[in-house]
Amino acid sequence: MIRSFVRILSCALILCLPVAATATIINPPGYAADDGSTAFSPEANAYFFEAFDPLPTIGITTSFGFYRVADPSTKITVFDAADQAAPDQIAWANFPFGGVFDVDAGVGQSLFAPGFGPVGFFLQLDVGGALLTIFSDPALNAGFDLMATFPDLATPGAYMLGVETGDGSGSLVTVYLATISGFRAIPEPMTAALVVLALGLGAGLGRRRSASAGSR
């Protein structure tokens, strides 16, 4: 029965079954409703707590972290398969230094370039060797909004992130919850402008390199 459910959920996770266009997770007590944020500006120090991850119980391992808005392929892991059971569920990121520290294990988790810039969040699922990544930006999920962001009513810069997807029967199910602090949500128009600026700078540098090479 578990294997059958895994196959059904796998199908739902790769969006072969209809799911809602927007995340519908109800905000938990103490948090505001989903504000639709897709990108965030990190402070010097940020903290993460993995609050809910039932997927390993059905054979699906997960990896949670953040990615560079200007380049979603640049993903930094905060929690991996080894962090899916207590007490390995607390992490700290130092953005000026460029590293993620596993607080429970007392070891470094990931390194990244300092000054990482605006970030989004991702949840990667390994379903029998098939990888699926769900992003906070719906544009990276074929237009589906599968991650909700709930502002903490008591703590500025803190949020709960909730990820949902189809359960194989046409309904939606919450598959992951994490709390984060030390971030400021970036308004959507500004996020788009940052991406365009990054792409423009990249294209400009490429043209400059080409012109420089051609003049030699």
| Average pLDDT of the segment spanning 16-33 | 75
- Percent residues over pLDDT 90 in the chain: 58
The encoded tokens of residue 62 equal 């997960």
Cα angle value 147/150/154 (rounded, 5°): 160
* pLDDT tens, residue by residue, 73-101: 999 999 998 887 777 799 999 999 999 99
Amino acid at 153: L
For CA atoms 170, 172, 176, 182, give the dihedral sign. Answer: positive
Give the model's pLDDT for residue 125.
93
| Average pLDDT of the segment spanning 205-214 | 50
Cα angle value 89/97/148 (rounded, 5°): 45
The C-alpha atoms of residue 35 and residue 186 are separated, in whole angstroms, by 11
84, 56 in Cβ contact below 8 A? yes
28, 146 in Cβ contact below 8 A? no
User: Looking at the predicted structure, is the pLDDT value of residue 3 above 50?
Assistant: no
pTM: 0.80
**Within a 13 Å sphere around the CA of 108, how many CA atoms are in the beta-carbon half?**
8
Give the 3-state secondary structure of residue 53.
coil
Confidence of residue 23 (pLDDT cuts 50, 70, 90): confident
Amino acid at 134: I
| Nearest alpha carbon to residue 41 among 108, 123, 115, 111 | 115
Give the model's pLDDT for residue 201.
53
Q: Mean pLDDT for the chain?
A: 82
* pLDDT tens, residue by residue, 144-199: 899 999 999 999 999 999 998 876 677 778 999 999 999 999 987 545 554 455 54
Residue in this structure with the two tokens 């993995």, named with its chain if needed: 50
For CA atoms 9, 175, 95, 41, give the dihedral sign. Answer: positive
The alpha carbon of 121 is separated from its chain's Cα centroid by a whole number of angstroms, namely 2
48, 92 in Cβ contact below 8 A? yes
Cβ neighbours of residue 212 closer than 8 Å, sequence gap 6 or more: none
Give the model's pLDDT for residue 20.
55
The C-alpha atoms of residue 25 and residue 36 are separated, in whole angstroms, by 12
Domain ranges of the chain: 2-185, 187-216
